[in-house]
């Protein structure tokens, strides 16, 4: 596969840069060949994540998500793929299996359209596993061999950390993002995610060096989860972001040491 950036990959990178600075930084810390794979996948993440929020009409939001599911089905089935600045480069980096994993990711994001709370812990865990977990599986396995359970454990932890950071905005948009928003509930959720993070790290040998650049995206996860456990009031206050210097330095430190 060519590592050259064509106009589509450049457009994907620009989209991620505007909408998801953390993921953009993580991708830029990867080798150039890995960026060509990661930017289309991360651009899909941007497009799908914002689809439920750009309209108040639930039917239109459903149609937007279905458009992406149809595109992924074209990739999975090997059909002629629609011309699109994200879908076209995506079709060059996804296997049918990974296209199916990302279809799972798109499908579960229907929850974002509506205002219903999660039914129970199993429902919440499924949402995180099929969104953040499936995204991690697709991005890592598109680069190289990696154990799916390790990726899903890591993805779940990353997903919870990002979810806790997003709580104030989700609540402002009328969503009920947590089953238990009390300090004890926040600590329990962060603690469970931290356990899965540590489980993934204990099995890091099951993620090949080629796939490791996809793991950079979780570089702030440990810090966020530990802060939420120690000071759960930070969640409601929207105070789980690292300072800019620490944010950049911690990413460079992890990448230099090959850690995730």
What pLDDT, in 10s, does the model give residues 33-59?
999 999 999 999 999 999 999 998 999
User: Widest CA span of the chain, in angstroms?
Assistant: 52
Where the chain has pLDDT below 70, the residues are: 1-4
Parts of the chain belonging to CATH 1.10.600.10: 117-260
Question: Angle at the Cα of 199 (from 181 to 213), degrees rounded to 5?
Answer: 100
Q: Which residue has the tokens 């993070």?
A: 197
Query: Which pLDDT value is given to residue 5?
Result: 84
The residues facing 146 across adjacent strands are 207
Tokens found for residue 180: 């238990």
Query: Which pLDDT value is given to residue 4?
Result: 65
Mean pLDDT, the chain, as a whole number?
96
Q: Please, are residues 131 and 158 in contact by the beta-carbon 8 Å criterion?
A: no
Beta-carbon contacts of 70 under 8 Å, excluding residues fewer than 6 positions away, are: none
CATH of domain 117-260: 1.10.600.10
Q: Provide the 8-state DSSP code for 241.
A: P
């Amino acid at each position: 596969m060519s590592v050259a950036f064509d106009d589509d990959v450049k457009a994907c990178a620009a989209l991620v840069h505007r909408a998801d600075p953390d993921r953009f930084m993580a991708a830029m810390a990867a080798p150039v060949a890995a960026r060509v794979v990661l930017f289309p996948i991360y651009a899909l993440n941007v497009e799908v994540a914002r689809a439920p929020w750009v309209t108040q009409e639930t039917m239109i939001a459903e149609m937007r998500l279905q458009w992406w599911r149809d595109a992924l089905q074209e990739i999975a089935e090997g059909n002629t793929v629609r011309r699109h600045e994200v879908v076209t480069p995506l079709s060059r980096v996804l296997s049918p299996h990974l296209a199916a994993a990302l279809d799972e990711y798109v499908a579960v994001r229907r929850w974002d359209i509506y205002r219903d709370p999660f039914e129970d812990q199993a429902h919440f865990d499924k949402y995180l596993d099929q969104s953040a977990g499936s995204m991690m599986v697709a991005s890592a396995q598109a680069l190289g061999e990696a154990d799916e359970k390790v990726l899903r454990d890591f993805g779940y932890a990353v997903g919870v950390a990002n979810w806790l950071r997003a709580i104030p905005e989700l609540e402002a948009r009328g969503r009920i993002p947590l089953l238990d928003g009390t300090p004890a509930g926040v600590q329990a959720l962060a603690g469970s995610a931290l356990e899965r993070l540590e489980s993934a790290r204990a099995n890091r040998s099951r993620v090949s060096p080629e796939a490791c650049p996809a793991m950079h995206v979780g570089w702030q996860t440990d810090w966020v989860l530990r802060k939420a456990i120690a000071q759960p009031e930070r969640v409601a206050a929207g105070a789980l972001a690292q300072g800019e210097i620490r944010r950049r330095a911690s990413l460079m430190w992890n990448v230099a040491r090959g850690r995730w």
